[in-house]
Amino acid sequence: MTPKAAIAALRALGDPVKAAEMHKYHKVDRPYLGVANPVIDEQVKSWRAEVDLEQRLALAKGLWKSNTHEGRIAAAKLLTQARIRPDDAGAWALIVSWVPEFDAWAVADHASIAGQKRLVADPTRLDQVARWTTSDHMWTRRAALVMTLPWTKQNHPKPADLAIRDRVLGWAAGYVTDHDWFIQKAIAWWLRELSKHDPERVRHFLDRHGADMKPFAVKEAGRKLPE
C-alpha cells in the first residue's frame, strides 16, 4: 500500500457534501475528503495487516505529507498502538516531527493519542516533551498536556508515576496565565481526568492557581471532583 493509493481509497469513500461541512467545522484550510472516522478506522486496520513496521512508518509519513484531513487522521491511527514491536524509535520520531505542524484540534488529538502510547512505552521520552512547554507554538505546548493524559488515569500509581504526575502538573502551573482558549481547555482536561483518581492534587492545584485561570477552565477542571 502506497500513500498515493491510500489517499485514492479514502477519496473513493468520501462525500463532497460532508467534506464541505468538515472544512467549515474545523476552520483550517486543507483538503477534506468527507470520510467518517469509523470508515478511516476500517481502512487503517486493513492497511496495517498488509505491511510491516517499516512500510507502515513510510505509509504514515506519506499520508501526513498529503496534508488532507483524513490522510493525517489515518497517519496518526496507523501509529496508535500500545505495543509496536520492536518499539522502534522511528515511530516516536515520526510523531514528534508532526508536532510543529499541528494546527487543528482533531488532527492534533489523534496524533497525540499515538504519542501517548509511545510515551507510556518509554517514559524517558518525557524529557523531550518537557522542552515543548516553552515553545512559541501553541499547539506544541498543548501537546505536552494531551500526550501525558495517561498519567491522570492510574488509581494506584507507582512512585515513578506520581513523580511524572507532579512534573506535568508543574507544566500546567506554568501555563495558567496563558489565556489562549485551547491551552486553558487542555489544563482543564488534564485536571478533570486527574480528579477522578486523585482529587486532592486537583484541589491543591486549583487552590494555588485557580485565580490565574479562566473561569470556564476552573469550572471544567472541577466538574468531576467528588463533593
Residue 112 belongs to domain with CATH number: 1.25.10.90
Q: Domain ends where: 147, 182, 203?
A: 147
What is the total count of domains within the chain? 2
Tell me: do 143 and 155 sit in the same domain: no
Tell me: do 4 and 113 sit in the same domain: yes
Tell me: do 181 and 129 sit in the same domain: no
Tell me: do 127 and 89 sit in the same domain: yes
Residue that the C-alpha cell 476552573 belongs to: 218
Q: What percent of the chain has pLDDT over 70?
A: 99
27, pLDDT greater than 90: no
Task: Tell me the C-alpha distance between 139 and 181, whole Å.
Answer: 11
**Alpha carbon separation from 175 to 48, 52, 77, 169 (Å, rounded):** 38, 40, 29, 10
Q: Which domain range does residue 184 map to?
A: 151-227
Tell me: do 224 and 117 sit in the same domain: no
C-alpha cell at 227: 463533593
Q: Angle CA(94)–CA(69)–CA(98) in degrees, nearest 5? A: 20
Tell me: do 140 and 160 sit in the same domain: no
User: What local confidence, expressed as pLDDT, does residue 86 receive?
Assistant: 66
Tell me: do 132 and 177 sit in the same domain: no
Q: Domain ends where: 147, 164, 181?
A: 147
pLDDT tens column, 133-151:
999 999 999 999 999 999 9
Task: Tell me the C-alpha distance between 78 and 53, whole Å.
Answer: 10
Kindly report the length of the chain.
227
Tell me: do 57 and 76 sit in the same domain: yes
